Amino acid sequence: MRSSSEILKSAIASASEILRSLVDLDAQVAKAADLITNCLRAGNKILACGNGGSAADAAHFATEFVVRFTHDRPAYPAIALTSDGGLLTAAGNDYGFEEIFARQVDAFGVENDLLICLTTSGKSENVKRALQVAKRRKLKTIAFLGRDGGSTVGMADLDLVVKSESTARIQEAHKLLLHVFCEIAEERLAH
């Protein structure tokens, strides 16, 4: 059995390697930053969704825009499609779990809004359905993916694929990228 120290050192080494690999996404990060800031400058909103830990990350991301990230500034419109338990369970019960985000995109999304989806496996049917509805409603889309992107790769306007087999390391990388986008948006929108 490994000691807690060995597990900690291994996790730090693995996370460091994955985080350093994000530099390979530099061009995609620049495009995603443009999509986010252009959306907000135009008076549109961000919708964010994911399952499990990715649901929590989507909610955290929306909160950073509505409240603040590093400094006081106007609130930016962002909605986590993961946060309303009544809505989620009603949609799941009446239409099926694969429709819980699609129904909300249909209800809240308007042309040129931005849908941000997170799925570490790239196989989440409810995320794929949300992307399909977003495309029909002419929203811009960004997919945060893991592993090889799964069957979701290519469905969004822009994919950010963290190439790792570890769900924990993918989520950590997604969280860093989400924070980077908050920082970029606050800096760009302040001017």
pLDDT tens, residue by residue, 152-183: 999 999 999 999 999 999 999 999 999 999 99
Q: Residues 117-154: pLDDT tens digits?
A: 999 999 999 999 999 999 999 999 999 999 999 999 99
Could you tell me which of 15, 33, 20 has the C-alpha nearest to residue 171?
15
pTM of this structure: 0.96
Could you tell me which of 102, 147, 159 has the C-alpha nearest to residue 126?
102
Q: What share of the chain is helix, strand, coil (3-state, %, to 5)?
A: 60, 15, 25
37 dihedral zone (left: phi>0; alpha: psi -120 to 50; beta) = alpha
